[in-house]
Structure 1
Amino acid sequence: MSEPTGKYSITMPRDIAEAARSRSGPSGLSAYVAAAVARQIERDNLNELIQVAEAEHGPITDDEVQDLRNQLHQTRKGQPAGGAAA
């Protein structure tokens, strides 16, 4: 069963609305906009989580971010994290 829906009126620049309408496909503009808003809410929630974590533990450094990216890349390639392939 799908979530209950409501009808809302929003205002946005015409060029953005037309670009969204042209990309919305068979699901329609409402579904396209709803998905975009849902993604923005996820980003907002993540940013709030990051702010709380940084307030408690301090900001993450660029080196730490790069190390985590390297670990993710190695994991995706099936290599153990933290070690170079022989």
Structure 2
Amino acid sequence: MSEITVKKSVTIRRSIAEQIEERAGAGGFSSFVDAAAEHWLALLKAREIVEDYEQANGPLPEDLLEEVRREWHGE
């Protein structure tokens, strides 16, 4: 079952639109933007989780941050 979609009008820079169309084709534009927005929201949520943790417990230990960096980069 797919989610209900909504049509929105947005304004973006021409250079960005052209790059999206080069990669996704004109027909894949909406899907590309939807996936990019979903990715950005996931990053914002992750940042909020870290900020909440640090507010309650102090800064994340540097060794843990380094481990996460290595995993992020596939090392």
TM-score, with length taken from structure 2: 0.81
- Which 4+ residue blocks in structure 1 deviate beyond 2 angstroms? 61-64, 68-72
Identity %: 32
Q: What's the CA shift for 1:27?
A: 6.1
Q: What is the aligned length?
A: 73
Q: Kindly indicate whether structure 1 or structure 2 has the higher relative contact order, using CA contacts under 8 Å at least 6 residues apart.
A: 2
| 1:37-56 equivalence runs, <5 A | 37-56=37-56
Distance 1:14 1:27 in 2: 17
Greater percentage in helix: 2
The CA RMSD over aligned residues, in Å, is 2.6
Q: Which structure: larger Rg?
A: 1
TM-score, with length taken from structure 1: 0.71
